[in-house]
Amino acid sequence: MHDDIKTIEGLFDAKGLHFAVIATRFNDFIVDRLIGGAFDYLFRHGAEKDKITLVRIPGAFEMPVVCKKLAESGKYDGILALGAVIRGGTPHFDFVAGEATKGLAQVSLSTGVPVGFGLLTTDSIEQAIERAGTKAGNKGVEAAAALLETVRVLKQL
């Protein structure tokens, strides 16, 4: 299909790439599964241990400022943000999830460094568990795959 159209697409080859992984301590029961899934994915696609840096941070609200510093360092081809914001009984959820999401998008656009968005935003702990390596897959794996593809696309543009 579309054989006659010039097409740019990313191969899932992580060899030689430098990644920073930002992961929250908040909800670490869930987030540790996202990290495990993401690392497993990256290593099975050729990533090298000495080219990956894991940065642990308090919560999702802190993601944008840490992501900004990492992106501006020029050391990373891509940044993966992993966390979980789980709704409680107050509007706190909306502020934390909203600011983290908006901030990460701003950092990515303003620096040109792709950010893999592996931040779960769920109504319940059960929904979070489902997306952290059980019946709805693993959002850490999905975000790592999307990041790798985007890094490889950007390198060709």
Q: Which residues are catalytic?
A: 92
Q: In Å, how far are 10, 46, 104, 133 from 24, measured between CA atoms?
A: 28, 25, 14, 17
**28 to 57: interface string for ligand INI, x by CB under 6 A:** ------------------------------
Q: Is 85 in the site for ligand INI (CB under 6 A)?
A: yes
Q: Is 59 in the site for ligand INI (CB under 6 A)?
A: yes
Q: What angle do CA 81, 58, 129 make, to 5 degrees?
A: 60
Q: Is 26 in the site for ligand INI (CB under 6 A)?
A: yes
Helix-, strand-, coil-residue percentages of the chain, each rounded to 5: 50, 20, 30
Q: Is 122 in the site for ligand INI (CB under 6 A)?
A: no
Ramachandran assignment for 133, one of left (phi > 0), alpha (psi -120 to 50 degrees), beta (any other): left
Residue among 22, 35, 38, 60 that touches ligand INI (CB under 6 A): 60
Largest Cα–Cα separation, the chain: 54
Shortest reach from residue 63's CB to ligand INI, in Å: 8
Q: Which residue is nearest to ligand INI (CB)?
A: 59
Whole-angstrom Cα distance, residue 89 to residue 59? 18
Residue among 51, 93, 106, 111 that touches ligand INI (CB under 6 A): 93
CB contact at 8 A, 133 and 33: yes
Residue among 16, 46, 56, 58 that touches ligand INI (CB under 6 A): 58
By CB under 6 A, name the binding residues for ligand INI: 24, 26-27, 58-62, 83-86, 88, 92-93, 96
